[in-house]
Amino acid sequence: ETVVSGYTFDEPVITGNVCVAGQSGADVKVILDESYAKTKLNTKECCVNMLESGVRIYFAKGAPIQEEYSAIGKKVRNAYGLQHSKTVRVGHWWLTGSCNWSTSSRCNLEVDTLTELHCERTASEQEKVLFQNAARQEREQIMGYIAQIHEEEAVKAERKSAERRSASAGRTVTD
């Protein structure tokens, strides 16, 4: 079994290897932050490729943040924390650290630690934490998120075009 968790996820080598593992018949699960994954086209396209390779995708969110902020006298809107873990578990090996699984993270100074787990219970307990607020995603859901991004981009492009037309309508050309 392989379990990957990340906040950002679009690095081609990593996603390619996850797809190969899924195509080979391995039990592969990927857990991503819901708010990030639903709004980033590159991540969603990676999700579609992974789903088509047999990988199970989950979107997760952190716990509600109101109680934490109330405890220090601050008010915040109804919101959730992030699924911000960056881990990989393959069998009894556990990799964890600060590295995001994204193209941009290749330029960061990151540190990860590889640990051999000697107890299956340890891995199971860690995975319970990762999956506690996770919801499995199907291809149709992710394709819907991609369509939503394309629609939003089209609306923005049309708005910019209308603004340019409006601005140029008020101008005259003089020689």
Rounded to whole angstroms, how far apart are CA atoms 127 and 148? 31
Alpha-carbon distance of 52 to 46, in angstroms, equals 10
pLDDT of residue 38: 79
**Could you give the 3-state DSSP secondary structure of residue 24?**
coil
Please write down the HEC assignment for all residues of 52-106.
HCCCEEEEECCCECHHHHHCCCCCCCCCECCCCCCEEEECCEEEEECCCECCHHH
Among residues 63, 18, 60, 57, the alpha carbon closest in space to that of 36 is found at 60
- By three-state DSSP, how is residue 112 classified? strand
pLDDT of 162: 85
- The whole-number pLDDT of residue 173 equals 54
pLDDT band at 172 (very low <50, low <70, confident <90, very high): low
pLDDT in tens, 52-90: 999 999 988 888 888 888 899 998 888 888 888 888 888
Q: Which of 10-14, 113-117, 143-147 has the lowest mean pLDDT?
A: 143-147
pLDDT of residue 56: 93
Question: What average pLDDT does the chain have?
Answer: 83
Structure confidence at residue 30 as a pLDDT band (50, 70, 90) = very high
According to the model, what pLDDT value does residue 23 have?
96
What average pLDDT does this structure show over 149-167? 84
Burial code (b: 16+ CB inside 10 Å, e: under 16) for 98-134 equals ebbbbeebeeeeeeeeeeeeeeeeebeebbeebbebb
Question: 37: which 2 tokens?
Answer: 């994954």
Residue 175's pLDDT is 46
Q: What local confidence, expressed as pLDDT, does residue 126 receive?
A: 73
DSSP 118: S
